[in-house]
Amino acid sequence: MYVSDLINDFLEYVEIERGRSRHTIDNYGLYLARFLELTAEDLPEGAELKPKDITPELLRRYRLRLNRYKNENNIGLSALTQAYHLIALRGFLRYLARRGIDSLDPSLVDLPKATKKQVTFLHFDEIERLLDSIPLDTESGLRDRAIIELLFSGGLRVSELCSLNRDQINLERREFVVRGKGSKDRPIFISASAAERVKDYLDARRDQLPALFLNNSKNLQAATTSGDYRRLTPRSIERIVEKYTRAAGITKHVTPHTLRHSFATDLLMNGADIRAVQSLLGHSNIATTQIYTHVTDQHLREVHSKFHSETN
């Protein structure tokens, strides 16, 4: 049994048993294909990699080549991207162990230390400027205002926002449920303002299509009767956010995920418990939520000012 065949089995396992998204599965496939590519030169000509061939020495050489890897534009892989490759390999080795297939112990795959990215977020006055830059005299404007208010008010991922249907949202109760990463459901709560903007947008629509947010382009061709051909894509929403960021004169690089960061930061700055924020964001690990500890800077300044005496 060859590793290439077992990788296909593993990807099916990840999809069916682990419930991972298509995006995650495609990435795992890419990372493991690169593993085969970078270890091929360690094999005799014409030979294929077998599970027992994955040894500590092969792993060492693979990590070295991964670190030196350059694409066609002579650009290497960041420490974070290298870590993703190794996470995929470790997951594959765990799968082999579960099946009783002799190979490298997964615990021997150590991950490199990656530099944490600095989280970009908008302060509340910047959120207000962003919202004020959106005109409300057109259906597109009403839609875009509702999108940005939902992203900030509910802390949604852009993929979650795109998948919403109009019958999912209870505008009276101002809450609904989304299915996030790992097919986990979590409640979303939104402000009265966000609910009002969604209502304004839906009232302006003259269709009965199920998708909550639609592309208004007249050039779209109906491919299905479900109306999903008009559902906004994550890239479309990224462009919407970029458009109004520029209109508001905000110089930061702002994406839909920036609004999710802003949601979490705003909660913590106003005294929310980090465990509650973890639940609202749908993070399975508290360490993921702790990237927002930068918000304590403001409190540290207050402590310093209150308790540290200045010399004259």
d(CA 243, CA 215): 15
Out of 20, 34, 174, 260, pick the active-site residue.
260
Out of 63, 85, 145, 157, pick the active-site residue.
157
Q: Identify whether 70 is a catalytic site residue.
A: no
141 contact partners, CB below 8 Å, separation of at least 6: 134, 135
Out of 34, 231, 261, 283, pick the active-site residue.
283
Distances (CA, A) of 231 to 115, 212, 228, 235: 36, 8, 5, 12
8 Å CB contact between 130 and 250: yes
Copy the structure tokens of residue 207: 């269709």
Q: Identify whether 260 is a catalytic site residue.
A: yes
Out of 181, 186, 199, 205, pick the active-site residue.
181
Out of 94, 99, 186, 257, pick the active-site residue.
257
Q: Identify whether 292 is a catalytic site residue.
A: yes
Q: Identify whether 157 is a catalytic site residue.
A: yes
d(CA 86, CA 32): 9
Which of 233, 239, 215, 263 lies closest to 161, judged by CA? Answer: 233
Out of 31, 201, 244, 292, pick the active-site residue.
292
Q: Which parts of the chain are beta strand (E)?
A: 175-179, 185-189
The set of catalytic residues is 157, 181, 257, 260, 283, 292
